[in-house]
């Protein structure tokens, strides 16, 4: 197999892996391709948490035909018993002759273990093909494993002058349908969507992925004093998918009422009277949430940035100028006194979404 062939097949495996985003968390998305005599025999991805992994699904489709073939897989095959048997066992049993791996497992407990097992048993193993793309695919999983925190994306829709609402709070709709649809897809690809209580009280959103063919995320509401209405959409329509983060100042009676309706309550220590965000993120990671989409207003977003919890931004700019010195922006709070203190956005990309412009980038902290 030529290098160009290897790259082409790995690209196909990466595309296949992306089909699992939003369905397999907290597991990472993985894609697998089995090739023999330059022909693709089988294509599969990890489709659901607790279900068979990509390699096993690909092997089951062709059974004995896998003998002597090459397996392309985006992530190092697992080597331990979890919810499913180890993939290394299935690979060895199948007679796969060569395996090309995008990147090793970031979990220090498992890293390179599967690779060593396969090599010891005579399988020709190559690691690191399109490694940057393979690592980018699992960066949420990597942060969750390494730092015990969810990967955090901050999304905002604003006018060209940076306003997320008018001075009177009108914000529906700043961006066009295409941008909103893109935003719903981001929700569906995240384990949880997070907003502050002001957003709930002002807009009463359902925070669903609006019938995309992927799961609805959990809803995390940051509400220090449990002000949320029992008639709000998230409580009334999806209490079992709603998590309310409160401080010890929250009314015990209100908390009991919310719990009785099925809402999960996470009480954090008080951080200057507000929910302790780092504590909250750590708690969310412990229950298996590896990715969060923050859609709150400028106050919540600025707190997430200030606590160094945000990893990337998706900022949608509409061709509007709204003005108003009291109109809210996507980054309120204290702000920075010096330009040199400002957060840097790196690996910036942009694209046109309908009439609007999307700026995407990673947050770099000093």
Residues carrying an active site annotation: 55
Task: Report CA-CA distances (Å) from 271 to 19, 245, 267, 285.
Answer: 39, 13, 12, 19
Nearest Cα to Cα of residue 221 among 202, 6, 65, 147: 202
Long-range contacts from 232-239, C-beta under 8 angstroms, 24+ separation: 232/200, 232/204, 233/204, 233/205, 233/206, 233/207, 234/200, 234/205, 234/206, 234/207, 235/261, 235/263, 237/206, 238/206, 238/208, 239/263
325 CB neighbour count, 10 Å cutoff:
5
89 vs 37, 43, 55, 105, CA distance in Å?
24, 19, 11, 17
> If residue 62 lies in a helix (H) or strand (E), which one and from where to where?
helix 54-62
Radius of gyration from C-alpha coordinates of the chain: 23
């Amino acid at each position: 197999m030529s290098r160009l062939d290897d790259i082409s097949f790995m690209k196909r495996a990466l595309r296949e892996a992306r089909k699992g985003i939003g369905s397999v968390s907290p597991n990472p998305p993985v894609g697998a391709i089995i090739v023999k005599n330059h022909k693709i025999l089988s294509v599969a991805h990890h489709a659901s948490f607790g279900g068979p992994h990509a390699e096993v699904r690909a092997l089951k489709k062709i059974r004995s035909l896998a003998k002597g073939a090459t397996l392309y897989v985006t992530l190092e095959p697992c080597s331990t018993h979890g919810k499913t048997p180890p993939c290394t066992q299935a690979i060895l049993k199948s007679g796969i002759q060569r395996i090309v791996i995008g990147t090793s497992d970031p979990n220090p407990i498992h890293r390179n273990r599967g690779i060593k097992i396969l090599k010891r048993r005579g399988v020709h193993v190559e690691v690191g093909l399109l490694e940057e793309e393979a690592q980018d695919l699992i960066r949420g999983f990597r942060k969750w494993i390494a730092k015990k925190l969810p990967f955090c994306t901050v999304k905002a829709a604003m006018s060209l002058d940076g306003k997320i609402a008018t001075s009177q709070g009108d914000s529906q709709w700043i961006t066009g349908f295409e941008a909103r649809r893109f935003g719903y897809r981001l929700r569906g690809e995240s384990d949880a969507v997070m907003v502050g209580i002001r957003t709930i009280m002002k807009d009463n959103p359902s925070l669903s992925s609006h019938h995309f063919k992927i799961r609805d995320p959990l809803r995390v509401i940051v509400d220090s004093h449990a002000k949320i209405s029992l008639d709000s959409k998230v409580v009334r329509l999806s209490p079992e998918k709603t998590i309310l983060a409160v401080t010890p100042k929250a009314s015990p009676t209100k908390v009991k009422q919310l719990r009785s309706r099925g809402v999960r309550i996470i009480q954090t220590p008080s951080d200057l009277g507000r929910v302790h965000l780092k504590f909250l993120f750590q708690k969310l990671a412990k229950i298996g949430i590896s990715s969060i989409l923050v859609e709150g207003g400028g106050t919540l977003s600025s707190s997430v940035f200030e606590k160094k919890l945000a990893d990337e931004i998706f900022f949608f700019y509409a061709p509007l100028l709204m003005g108003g010195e009291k109109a809210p922006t996507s980054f309120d709070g204290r702000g920075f006194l010096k330009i040199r203190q400002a957060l840097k956005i790196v690996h910036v990309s942009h694209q046109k979404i309908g009439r609007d412009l999307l700026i995407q980038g990673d947050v770099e902290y000093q």
